[in-house]
Amino acid sequence: MTPRSNIRYVLEYAGLRLFCAIMRLLPIAVSITIGRVLGRLCALLFKERVTLAHSNLQTAFGQQRAFSERQTIIRSLFALLGEALVESVLCTEEEVKKNITVEGMEHLEKALALNKGVLMLGPHFGLWELAGFIFGSRVPHAATVYKPLKNPLVNEYLIRARRESGLGLIPSKNALRLVLQNLRKGAMVVILFDQNAGRGGVPVTFFGAMASTYPAPAVFALKTGSPVLPAYMLKERGARKHRLIIGEPFTLMTTGDKEKDILANTQQFNDFFEALVRQYPEQWFGWLHRRWKIPRSFASDAEDSG
């Protein structure tokens, strides 16, 4: 790190700790309201993200959503982002049990009973961070893959906070070996599946447009026979009310052609989450992410195949 980076990292870390301390001192309802207001203010500060969200919504829905509808979705999303930040600071395991309704736990229990490990696919949706408390407290040896932050001070702070949920952490850099180890031990591994995979992805569609998507879940499932289940969080009406929904296992496509099976199953996973986002567009944080940025290699492959 350069000295300038060191200073910036220290200031960011100090700001985060101060924010957390203030939020914990205030009444919970006040803190969450502040979080939602700050989230909306971020929409004014990060205009490039708002522009990106408008562009992404147009890619997904075309002319089906007017500018005013897109604006409403984006404002709601930023408010939810602020609320999610505050909830992640305030929430305790007991509050999670009280405020989150869980549906479909029987699907997970049945899958774990096969003793082949379980891959849980989730999107950046609703207050997903809180799901860690559910999985950490109810599923032995469960772990999730995470991408470390650039700021090492903030990264270490968040790691300590996440470990309090009881959910194990697998850094994305060493994910391949560690995920396979966990699956072969019969454990559950959570993978957030909905971001752009860049050059490491495979070309499948999302909302009808090409999107580089992580093939790893399909690769792991085909290699180990582990069931793949979807899971997502929904923010419901009412203060601090959420629902964690665990779906039935996907029916994996296995024709014997490895490459085709990877593409077909990855497309299947994308189709499931596309349907979810269509139903609750105001709860998917992927609108703020360059989901449809295509690597040059994809274009080259398309030209070669043509």
Prediction pTM value? 0.91
Return d(Cα 277, Cα 78) in angstroms, integer. 16
The helix or strand, by DSSP H or E, that contains position 249, with its residue range, turns out to be none
Report whether pLDDT(1) > 70.
Answer: no
Report whether pLDDT(119) > 50.
Answer: yes
Give tens-digit pLDDT for 86-97. Answer: 998 888 878 888
Give tens-digit pLDDT for 171-227. Answer: 988 788 999 999 999 999 999 999 999 999 999 999 999 999 999 999 999 999 999
- pLDDT tier, 303 (very low <50, low <70, confident <90, very high otherwise): very low
Average the pLDDT over 297-306 and give the result: 57
Say what the pLDDT of residue 3 is.
55
Q: CB–CB of 108/120 below 8 Å?
A: yes
Domain coordinates in residue numbering, the chain: 3-299
Say what the pLDDT of residue 89 is.
87
Would you call 192 helix, strand, or coil by DSSP? strand
Question: Which amino acid would we find at residue 269?
Answer: F
As given in the structure block, the two tokens for residue 106 are 């029987």
Return d(Cα 255, Cα 38) in angstroms, integer. 50
Return d(Cα 291, Cα 18) in angstroms, integer. 32
The CA-based dihedral angle spanning residues 104, 108, 113, 118, taken in that order and rounded to the nearest 10 degrees: 160
Average the pLDDT over 135-162 and give the result: 89
Give tens-digit pLDDT for 222-258. Answer: 999 999 999 999 999 878 899 999 999 999 999 999 9
Say what the pLDDT of residue 306 is.
47
Say what the pLDDT of residue 137 is.
87
Report whether pLDDT(299) > 80.
Answer: no
- pLDDT tier, 4 (very low <50, low <70, confident <90, very high otherwise): low
**Strand spans (E) along 38-157:** 100-103, 118-122, 143-146
Pick the closest to residue 197 from 210, 209, 213 (CA basis). 213
As given in the structure block, the two tokens for residue 121 are 């696919």
Q: CB–CB of 141/185 below 8 Å?
A: yes
